[in-house]
């Protein structure tokens, strides 16, 4: 029995949350030379989120919890709505190793479950990853939720849904031989439909330069309501991101949703190229996180930050778009969407893109 056959679906990120899951950063090798700057960025995130929804934090144990509580206090982030879970992790990228929640309507209300996709650290790039791979099952046990295991490698940042039956992903990532070499494109699509409750799958092409995930869609294009996708574009033809992003934009403008309607496509700029120690970093404004009443937007380049902020503020008029500098966070090769995982609110009544 698969989730789809039982009536489950994956809600859109803008639907009301019960909370946000984080895995607190502790692996200095992910931000060599800059690690001390990373926990305060997480604390700022918690400060913005905790007044609007629960924040659930995976830590190794009581000592780690105490240290995080002290940091949150120093950063002025209240902990009344912050909950700690003694679930050890290898790294902090909760979007990719955390639980993906699905749900169905029953006579007694909304019933939730967790999909436990296999996690192999983006094609075996960063061992060990056994603790990260176990996170969804551990959370399911704590919450008393049913856990479905598709037997397929998939990271949360590789897919985006509109909550109405359409899923957006990339060929570069899902078809990469370091994920599921024994599965065809059709078999991958079949499992996405069976375990996320989608009906219609849209494929983009390549990812951005510097992205060690092999092309996650959350650095390229995101649904912002059931009919609208916002996509990053590079205006400089000399930039290595220009051609792949133009190709993805062309594809999006020809795509239709699950009901055969053309997508509405909006654009975001790309920030100026950011390099550290000679490495191009995957800085992208598409890596924003949608929470109750707020959008967390990574900042890299003040003039372009403002263009991106204004665009998202227009698309999310009932939520406040908050720009937080991520020039240090992206040295770990990810930003806000990469470190968060939403927990839909089972008590909500009507899913809405415009409601906070």
The terminus-to-terminus CA distance of the chain in angstroms comes to 34
* CA dist., res. 191 & res. 239, Å (int): 36
**Does residue 329 contact residue 38 with C-beta atoms inside 8 Å?**
yes
Tokens of 251: 């594809």
Does the annotation count 338 as an active-site position?
Answer: yes
**Does residue 251 contact residue 215 with C-beta atoms inside 8 Å?**
no
**Does residue 291 contact residue 53 with C-beta atoms inside 8 Å?**
yes
Which string of DSSP letters, residue by residue, matches 288-350? -EEETTEEEEEESSHHHHHHHHHHHHHH-TTSEEEEEE-TTGGGGT--TGGG-EEEE-TT-SS
* CA dist., res. 248 & res. 234, Å (int): 11
CA Rg, the chain, in Å?
19
H-run or E-run covering 267: strand 264-269
Label residue 292 left, alpha or beta by phi (over 0 means left) and psi (-120 to 50 means alpha): beta
Tokens of 279: 């490495």
**Does residue 285 contact residue 267 with C-beta atoms inside 8 Å?**
no
3-state SS assignment for residue 71: helix
3-state SS assignment for residue 275: strand
3-state SS assignment for residue 221: strand
Catalytic residue among 94, 173, 326, 338: 338
* CA dist., res. 265 & res. 249, Å (int): 8
Identify which of 160, 153, 100, 151 has the alpha carbon closest to the alpha carbon of residue 125.
153
Active-site positions read 338
């Amino acid at each position: 029995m698969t989730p789809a056959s039982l009536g489950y679906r994956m809600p859109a990120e803008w639907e009301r949350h019960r909370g946000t899951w984080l895995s607190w950063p502790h692996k200095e090798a992910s931000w060599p030379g800059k690690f001390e700057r990373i926990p305060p960025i997480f604390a700022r995130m918690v400060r913005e989120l905790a007044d609007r929804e629960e924040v659930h934090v995976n830590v190794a144990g009581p000592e780690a919890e105490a240290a995080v509580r002290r940091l949150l206090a120093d950063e002025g982030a209240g902990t009344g709505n912050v909950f700690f879970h003694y679930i050890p992790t290898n790294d902090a990228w909760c979007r990719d190793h955390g639980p993906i929640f699905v749900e169905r309507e029953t006579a007694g209300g909304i019933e939730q479950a967790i999909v436990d996709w296999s996690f192999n650290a983006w094609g075996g790039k960063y061992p060990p990853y056994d603790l990260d791979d176990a996170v969804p099952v551990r959370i399911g046990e704590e919450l008393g939720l049913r856990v479905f295991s598709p037997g397929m490698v998939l990271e949360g940042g590789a897919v985006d849904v509109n909550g109405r039956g359409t899923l957006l992903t990339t060929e570069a990532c899902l078809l990469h031989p370091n994920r599921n070499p024994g599965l065809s494109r059709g078999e991958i699509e079949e499992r996405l439909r069976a375990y996320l409750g989608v009906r219609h799958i849209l494929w983009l092409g390549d990812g951005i330069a510097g992205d060690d995930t092999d092309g996650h869609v959350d650095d390229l294009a995101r649904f912002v309501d059931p009919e609208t996708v916002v996509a990053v574009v590079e205006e400089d033809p000399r930039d290595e991101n220009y051609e792949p992003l133009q190709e993805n934009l062309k594809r999006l403008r020809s795509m239709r949703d699950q009901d055969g309607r053309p997508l509405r496509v909006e654009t975001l700029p790309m920030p100026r190229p950011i390099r550290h120690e000679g490495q191009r970093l995957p800085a992208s404004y598409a890596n924003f996180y949608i929470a109750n009443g707020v959008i967390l937007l990574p900042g890299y380049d003040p003039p372009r930050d403002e263009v991106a902020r204004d665009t998202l503020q227009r698309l999310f008029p009932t939520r406040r778009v908050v720009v937080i500098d991520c020039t240090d966070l992206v040295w770990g090769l990810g930003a806000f969407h990469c470190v968060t995982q939403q927990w839909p609110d089972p008590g909500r009544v009507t899913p809405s893109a415009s409601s906070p």
